Structure 1
Amino acid sequence: MVQAAYLHIPFCHHICHYCDFNKVFFENQPVDQYLDAMEQEMKYTVEKHGESRLKSIFVGGGTPTALTVPQLEKFLQIIQRHLSVEEGGEFTFEANPNELTEEKLQLLKDYSVNRLSIGVQTFNDEILKKIGRVHTKREAIKTIERARKVGFNNLSLDLMYSLPGQTIGDFVQTLKEAFELNVDHMSAYSLIIEPKTVFYNLMRKGKLQVPAQEEEAKMYDLLMDEMERHGFHQYEISNFTKPGFASRHNLTYWNNEEYYGIGAGAHSYTKGIRRANIGPINKYIEAVRKNGSAYLEEHEVCKAEMMEEEVFLGLRKTAGVSKKIFERKYGVPFNEVFGQQAQEQMKKGLLAEDKENIYLTRQGRFLGNEVFQAFIGVI
């Protein structure tokens, strides 16, 4: 049963130096035609799978708030026609601080958006410039105040660490200022240099200086300690929440549940099939007009792959993988399939278990990818 929908808006007024998501500059793009194609794909998808009332809708990008007010209203009306969130569900928009005007905030509120994920990254203006962000610390703070004034009480901040020129002291200050804003959810990710980004090209030329791995580890250690000290529960490797504000949308992924992916480059998982959409904007529009969908590739996930995904996605959560749910889903005990691999990681101090779950230790959170790899290709 489909639990969630991810809707992709690929337009940006400015491209950040670290971003490798599917995105294009806003100027001279066929935005309205793209939104029309998204509507056609939504209609096709709901008719094919029969689920339109969901636990969560997440609008990401790109930058969804890059849309003009008329475009944003058109898009919200499209969503309203084809998808809805069940009572108590979650409807999230990603947002850049410098683009969330009071008019846009009110529009989002009027169309039942109830959660904002705000891309702050850091409260250091100098580092913001280095990473290609165009907002300032003051704009970020004002945006959060403005969102509260309009009536949003479920706000999440996206933060980054191990950034060029960033010291542990800088990160301590960013966390201090984030806590002072009294939000209920934060995500914090270390910088990863991806191909086809400004930072990747600078790195190849020897012109990018980032903190050493030891410094990055110290920042993550500090992050976990400070979040706990301020009443945030770490429920996933990079995500922290006050009680009742965990991201339901992201939990859909980590619980290995089904979801729609609508838009250029979006991914979906329904009825055991993972699909990836065409990325280029005009090719996406053309494909949807012709077929109703824009699938670039489809992969039917076999049982062995499903079990592997259950483990490496589930281990991202601090609660870990439920042995009972694993056996219920796949008809075989966890230890019968992955017992040897789990024991090897436990001996290294990277995994632990209790009666119900297998989960990463604190040490294991630093080496998550190494642990996940141990469960791939063993069946």
Structure 2
Amino acid sequence: MAPQAVYIHIPFCTNKCHYCDFTAYVVKGQPVDDYLSALEREMERTVEQHPPGEIRSVFIGGGTPTVLSPRQMERLCLAIRRYFPRWATDMEFTVEANPGTTEPEKLAAMREGGVNRISFGAQTFRDDLLRRIGRIHTAQDVFRSVEQARHAGFDNLSLDLIFGLPDQTLADMEETLKTALSLRPDHISAYSLKVEEGTLFHTLYQRGELPLPPEEEEVKMYQLTRRMLGEVGLRQYEISNFAHPGKESRHNLTYWRHEEFYGLGAGAHGYVGGVRHANVRGIREYIEKTRQGFPTEEVHHVSRAEAMENFMIFGLRVLSGVEASEFARRFGLPLDRVFGSVLDALQQKGLLVIDGERVRLTEQGLLFGNEVFAAFLGEAENTSED
């Protein structure tokens, strides 16, 4: 079946955040219109090789997609419609946005282009902490942007938050959550800070100049987040994601269910026809490669055994877990035949529970998810044939 999800990467930002290791470049002086032309060339070649079916989700990520001008945003949305013309009647179309970059004219262009969901990168509501992590928006910018988006007709808004920031306390996180909830978001993603190589934070960490909260404090922040969001009806449906019923991120569920998706743009990853690919990261290299063919840098053919492992690793991130019947439908083998010993071991540790034919994380498993996921690596090789 043709992929039903499209990811498009806009690698431009007003500035580079201190923790960011994504493919992102300061937009000043960049050939943005040439990049959009290159995206259209990649779209055209992609749908020629892998014709799309009915699209259920589009996600424009970055970078900061909302650094595009209203005219550029309109052009991008028209191109998406041109190359992926069959949209489900309830399609989810998300654009990531930085607070302060969504003026009314741009919001109108997004609405006209079919966008119906915005994900704002709020991160925290302490202005001094925002500056410390390299953000250039303020808490007031978040309030203003959310108000403008609702006035423009958007009724599906998400906020991204980060906990475990330098010198952040449990009281800080509680205040951030209270402020976030005052904006009545439909969805919240709450991630713990990861110090990635190649970032300013990584350099500071190696020098001993990044005063991160103790791990126990970070765990308390996560537990506080789960409790406070749950109390107002934002149901936790994935390790880091919370939503009102019906507002779960359909696009991210595509990844967690190990379903295929188109990935377009510099540094984008895609998964089509059992093959994962990664595009080149450089802007000018990407533009030039699309003039000759596909801008692919890496290709990986996913074996049947690896697909089984990924099904479990990604699927268990979702709190409802995975179904044994769905595993058998996809792979033609009973789940316990492939992973029986792993499931038994994780159950004995109290990290997994099997409820009928559904396998899911326990409360303890939520805190030690990486241990659960690592247990499946390499385990399918002995029971499947490629």
Could you tell me the TM-score, scaled by structure 2's length?
0.96
Contact 2:100/2:144 (<8 A) preserved: no
Percent identity for Structure 1 against Structure 2: 48
Contact 2:262/2:272 (<8 A) preserved: yes
For residue 98 of structure 1, give the secondary structure of its aligned residue in structure 2.
coil
Aligned to 1:357: 358
Deviation at residue 52 of structure 1 after TM alignment: 5.2
Aligned to 1:305: 306
The within-5 A match list for 1:159-238 is 159-238=161-240
Query: 2:47 and 2:377 mapped to 1: Cα distance?
Result: 33
Aligned to 1:121: 123
Query: 1:287 and 1:14 mapped to 2: Cα distance?
Result: 26
Aligned to 1:21: 22
Contact 1:98/1:134 (<8 A) preserved: no
Are 2:335 and 1:343 aligned? no
For residue 99 of structure 1, give the secondary structure of its aligned residue in structure 2.
coil
Query: 1:52 and 1:331 mapped to 2: Cα distance?
Result: 25
Contact 1:188/1:238 (<8 A) preserved: yes
Are 2:320 and 1:319 aligned? yes
One-letter code aligned to 2:330: K
Instruction: Structure 2: give runs of 5+ residues left out of the alignment.
Output: 382-386
Contact 1:350/1:361 (<8 A) preserved: yes
Query: 2:211 and 2:56 mapped to 1: Cα distance?
Result: 42
Aligned to 2:384: none
One-letter code aligned to 2:260: E
For residue 55 of structure 1, give the secondary structure of its aligned residue in structure 2.
strand
Instruction: Structure 1: give runs of 5+ residues left out of the alignment.
Output: none
Contact 1:10/1:23 (<8 A) preserved: yes
Select the residue among 286, 290, 314 that pairs with 1:284: 286
Query: 1:251 and 1:231 mapped to 2: Cα distance?
Result: 20
For residue 372 of structure 1, give the secondary structure of its aligned residue in structure 2.
helix
Deviations 1:322-344 (A, max 9, x none): 11100110001111110111111
Deviations 1:34-76 (A, max 9, x none): 1001001011111111105310000000100011222222222
For residue 188 of structure 1, give the secondary structure of its aligned residue in structure 2.
strand
Query: 1:61 and 1:53 mapped to 2: Cα distance?
Result: 24
Query: 1:45 and 1:113 mapped to 2: Cα distance?
Result: 22
Contact 1:52/1:82 (<8 A) preserved: no
Query: 2:53 and 2:31 mapped to 1: Cα distance?
Result: 27
Deviation at residue 121 of structure 1 after TM alignment: 0.5
Query: 1:130 and 1:254 mapped to 2: Cα distance?
Result: 32
Deviations 1:284-303 (A, max 9, x none): 11111101x11111111111
Could you tell me the TM-score, scaled by structure 1's length?
0.98
Select the residue among 133, 145, 148 that pairs with 1:146: 148
Contact 1:37/1:289 (<8 A) preserved: yes
Deviation at residue 86 of structure 1 after TM alignment: 1.4
One-letter code aligned to 2:269: H
Select the residue among 239, 242, 250 that pairs with 2:241: 239
